[in-house]
Amino acid sequence: MFDFLKKKITDFTDKLKEKLQEKKPETQEIPLEKVPEKPAQKPIEKKKAETKTQKITEKKEKKKKEKKSEAKEEIALETETPEEISEEVVEPEQEEIIETEETSDAEEFDTAGEKKEAEEKIKEVRGEEKRELKAKVGFFKKITGFIGGKIKISENETKEFFEEFELSLLESDVEQETAEAIVKELKERIVGKEISSKENVSEFLKQEVRESLKTVMETQKIELLKMKQKPIKILFIGPNGAGKTTSIAKIAKYFLNNKKTVIIAAGDTFRAAAIEQLQEHADKLGVKLVKHNYGADPAAVGFDAVKMAEAKGIDVVLIDSAGRQDTNKNLLEEMKKIERVVKPDLKLYVGEAYTGQALLEQVEEFDKAINLDGFVLTKIDTDTKGGTAISLLHKFKKPILFVGTGQRYEDLLEFKPEFIIDRIL
């Protein structure tokens, strides 16, 4: 079941996974040997600058001593008091220290050339120290980024894969507009998104495909067992051979299992043996069958079944109708008459799940004629592709109520989108 679509989606996710894993994370690990180092000559130049600085200090000390000596000589000559000597000696020294702190380290050089050279060396040394610190900070930032490294999914690298994916959906019986909608939804979910380098990329992609399919397949819900009408009148229509009569019997069993009473109307008065076939199912299930002769008005059969249900307090009326193609105008008009007379609460189209685009075309014509409420898909266990159900839900925005998975009465499942999604992912 759905093997073809499953393979296509698996191929898409695997290829995209490989492509993304080939891409390096945006923050890459930098090998330790690549850590920026200072050029070999810089420590030598720094040493030279330090030598210059030492010379500056020595000259300062020498000048201080000379000034102290001069100050003492003046004091001796003028025979001043110790307090005065102290004041005169200390003040010049303090001024010199303050001045030295406020001026450049190169101020004590003998020539302007020496001063300029020293200033340049000092700036160069300080610049190298800043660059060295910046390189180390950058290195650690990159190492941190690599530990939590992420891959960003870009549109360019996924464009080819999305084109292939859309073709795969079309090959799986997904209608074109639906295929485009799935691809668009998936693009919006993953393009521009960052994935941790530690994440399971395959699981990430499958989860995003799952959510995209759920969004595209989303429709209104019809909960049969919560409907308040009594009786609930359900009209079944569809082409010959689609399994309509068998589906009616299965749905009758479904209601019986849920403690509801049921009556069936044999509205197919056109096909030979259709009434006998339905009678056999009614007998097996133990429910009442309302029938007329072949060639009778099917609207009258449905009307009588509804009146009997109302009189006996029966919960559900299931109305069969003749199989018809969307091109048979007379049978389409007959179907419209049944709708006008019976006024069904639900009009369900019964079709084979594997018929692909042909089913969508038939549904479109029936929907225009009587405004369908939902679908029953039969023989879904034989559908290897799986795209028809997805297209049906997206195109008409009406629910699939049941899917048939075999010939037994129990081979009927209430439909949920997960029924398909779980089988293709």
DSSP, residue by residue, 303-361:
HHHHHHHHHHT-SEEEE------TT-HHHHHHHHHHHHHH--SEEEEEEEGGGTHHHHH
Neighbouring CB atoms inside 10 A of 220's CB total: 9
Judged against a pLDDT cut of 70, whether residue 145 lies above it is answered with no
Residue 352 is predicted with a pLDDT of: 93
Domain with residue 9: its CATH number is: 1.20.120.140
Predicted local distance difference test score (pLDDT) of residue 338: 94
Provide the pLDDT for residue 60: 60
Strands 232-237 and 150-152 come out as unpaired
What is the average pLDDT value for the chain, to the nearest integer?
Answer: 78
Same domain, 295 and 232: yes
Q: For residue range 347-367, what is the model confidence (pLDDT) as tens digits?
A: 999 999 988 888 999 999 899
pLDDT of residue 112: 57
We report the CATH number of the domain holding residue 326 as 3.40.50.300
Question: 147, 170, 201 — which closes off a domain?
Answer: 147
Question: Is pLDDT above 50 for 44?
Answer: no
Per DSSP, 251 falls in state H
Amino acid identity, residue 82?
P
Asked whether residue 206 falls in the same domain as residue 306, the answer is: no
Query: Is residue 368 over pLDDT 60?
Result: yes
- How buried is residue 324: exposed, middle or buried, by Cβ count under 10 Å (0-12/13-18/19+)? buried
Query: Does pLDDT of 82 surpass 60?
Result: no
283-291 long-range contacts, Cβ below 8 Å, gap at least 24? 284/249, 285/249, 285/252, 285/253, 285/256, 285/409, 287/252, 287/256, 287/262, 287/263, 288/263, 288/264, 288/314, 289/263, 289/264, 289/265, 290/263, 290/264, 290/265, 290/266, 291/265, 291/266
> Is residue 77 domain-shared with residue 97, that is, in the same domain?
yes
286 lies in the same domain as 384 = yes
Lowest average pLDDT, out of 139-148, 155-164, 392-401, goes to 139-148
Binned at pLDDT 50, 70 and 90, residue 124 comes out as low
Let me know: does 263 contact 314? Beta carbons within 8 Å. yes
Query: pLDDT-based confidence at 143, cuts 50/70/90?
Result: very low
Class of residue 198 by CB neighbours under 10 A (exposed 0-12, middle 13-18, buried 19+):
exposed
Q: What is residue 196's predicted lDDT score, i.e. its pLDDT?
A: 72
* Structure tokens, 91: 């003040």
pLDDT band of residue 141 (cuts 50, 70, 90) is very low
Are residues 278 and 254 part of one domain? yes
The more confidently predicted of residues 97 and 279 is: 279
Tell me the pLDDT band of 84, cut-offs 50, 70 and 90.
very low
- 386 pLDDT exceeds 70? yes
The residue among 97, 123, 147 that closes a domain is 147
Max mean pLDDT range (12-21, 252-261, 361-370, 385-394): 252-261
Are 302 and 383 in a shared domain?
yes
Q: What is the pLDDT of residue 122?
A: 60
Question: Considering the entire predicted model, what is its pTM?
Answer: 0.69
Whether 95 shows a pLDDT value over 60: the answer reads no
Domain range for residue 371? 224-424
Q: What is the reported pLDDT for 13? A: 77
Residue found under tokens 């795209």: 387
User: What is the pLDDT, as a whole number, of residue 308?
Assistant: 97
Check whether 376 has a pLDDT greater than 50: yes
Q: At what angle do helices 357-370 and 387-396 cross, to 10 degrees?
A: 30
397 shares a domain with 307: yes
Same domain, yes or no: 143 and 154 = no
Residue 119 pairs in a beta bridge with none
Six-digit token pair at 238? 């569809």
Residues 316 and 417 both lie in one domain: yes
pLDDT one-digit tens code per residue, 110-122 = 555 655 666 666 6
pLDDT in tens, 286-321: 999 999 999 999 999 999 999 999 999 999 999 999
Rounded to an integer, the average pLDDT of 398-415 is: 94
Share of the chain above pLDDT 90, in %: 42
- Report the pLDDT averaged over residues 66-78: 54
In terms of domains, do 233 and 322 share one?
yes
% of the chain residues with pLDDT over 70: 68
* Average pLDDT value for residue range 199-219: 87
15 with 38, same domain: the answer is: no
The pLDDT of residue 16 is: 76
pLDDT at 322 over 50: yes
Q: Is the pLDDT of residue 105 over 70?
A: no
3-state secondary structure of 279: helix
Question: What is the predicted pLDDT for the residue at 203?
Answer: 84
212 and 68 part of one domain = no
Last residue of a domain, one of 216, 236, 256: 216
Higher per-residue confidence, 341 vs 45: 341
Quote the number of domains for the chain.
Answer: 3
